[in-house]
Amino acid sequence: MVKIDGTSNGNSLIRVRNLGKAYQRGSQELRVLQGLNLDIEKGDFVAFMGPSGSGKTTLLNLLGGLDVPTEGSVSVAGEEITAMSAHRLTAWRARHVGFVFQMYNLIPVLTAFQNVELPLLLTKLSKADRRHHVDTALGLVGLAGRTGHFPRQLSGGEEQRVAIARAFVTDPTFLLCDEPTGDLDRKSAEEIMELIDRLVHEYGKTVLMVTHDPRAAERAHAVLHLDKGTLIEGTGKTA
């Protein structure tokens, strides 16, 4: 169940209270987020929508521990990440978050296999164990035969699937997707959304997605709009 009013029944996986973010541009202060509250439970699939510059990506970055807020707090699975040191935050991120970007952001000199393996290099798993996890992940996204290929040899849709495999290969607590279908054609976008859907419904993953695409947003359990730095309910199932 997703709530944005700051009240919760204590079951929240992700709890955000009074989140605010401002930037200094010379002598001016630019306020992007203000007094934002959010509660998300395990297994929720939430879409964030809003006009350009409304702070969607900023919100995602704060939830993923890539940025620190000016005020407020973010807690995930009981841990307050906004109070963590940069060092701990990095380790936390490796364990708990999987990112999917609009531009895939695969490393061009690594094969699909090596790209998916990247987060596992930070763990103490043996080479054999790593291989097992990577093969499973790539199989799940339907690219079992393309493990040895480089990004330049894959189509856009395939690249994004590799990116998704990389995002969940460590079995993170939740996935953050920033415009995952933004750069794809109709057909590939459908495939990607199918995949994300499966992750949520078959594997019980928690997914937070920023998108412009109404068709992608349709798949989510709840759609939230960012307006003037805070969240408002949108069309779609909520609460």
Partner 1 sequence: MKFLALILANLKRKKVRTALTIGSFASALFLFGLLIATRNAFTGGVEVAGADRLIVINRVSLIQPLPIAYRDRILQVPRVTAVTFASWFGGVYQDERNFFPQFAIDPATWRAMYPEFLVADAEWDEFMKDRQAAIAGESTAKRFGWKVGDRIPIRGTYLPGVWEFNLRGIYRGSRPEDDTTQFWLRRDYLEENGPAWFKGLVGWYVVKVANPDDAPGVIAAIDERFANSPWETKTETEKSFATAFVKQIGNIEFLILSIGAVVFFTLLLVTGNTMAIAVRERTSELAVLKTVGFGDTLVLWLVLGESLFLAFIGGTLGVLAAKAVAPHLSSFMYGANVFLPASNLALGIVLALIAGALAAALPALSAMRLKVVEALRRV
CB-CB neighbours of 67 under 10 Å: 13
> Cβ 169 to partner 1, closest distance in Å?
10
Any contact of residue 101 with partner 1 (CB under 8 A)? yes
Distance of CA 97 to the CA centre of its chain: 7
Any contact of residue 84 with partner 1 (CB under 8 A)? no
> Of 91, 155, 194, 218, which one interacts with partner 1 (CB under 8 A)?
91
- Size of the residue set binding partner 1 (CB under 8 A): 27
Closer by beta carbon to partner 1, 1 or else 68: 68
Q: Is 148 exposed, middle or buried (0-12, 13-18, 19+ CB in 10 A)?
A: exposed
Closer by beta carbon to partner 1, 121 or else 232: 121
From CA 4, how far away is CA 17, in angstroms rounded? 9
Any contact of residue 127 with partner 1 (CB under 8 A)? yes
Closest among 65, 67, 69, 66 to 79, alpha carbons compared = 65
Any contact of residue 144 with partner 1 (CB under 8 A)? no
The number of residues making up the chain comes to 239
Any contact of residue 18 with partner 1 (CB under 8 A)? no
- x-or-dash string of contact with partner 1, 210-229, rule CB under 8 A: --------------------
Closest among 176, 216, 146 to 67, alpha carbons compared = 176
Touching partner 1, residues 42-71 (CB under 8 A): 61, 64, 66-67
Stretch that binds partner 1, among 99-107, 135-143, 182-190, 193-201 (CB under 8 A): 99-107
Closer by beta carbon to partner 1, 58 or else 206: 58
> Cβ 14 to partner 1, closest distance in Å?
18
Contact present, 47 and 220 (Cβ < 8 Å): yes
Residue 119 DSSP label = G
Q: Which residue in the block uniquely carries the two structure tokens 């991120």?
A: 93
Radius of gyration of the chain (CA): 18
Any contact of residue 30 with partner 1 (CB under 8 A)? no
Contact present, 13 and 40 (Cβ < 8 Å): yes
Contact present, 191 and 157 (Cβ < 8 Å): yes
Footprint on this chain of partner 1 (rule: CB under 8 A): 61, 64, 66-67, 86-87, 90-91, 93-95, 97, 99, 101, 103, 105, 107-110, 114, 118-119, 121-122, 127, 166
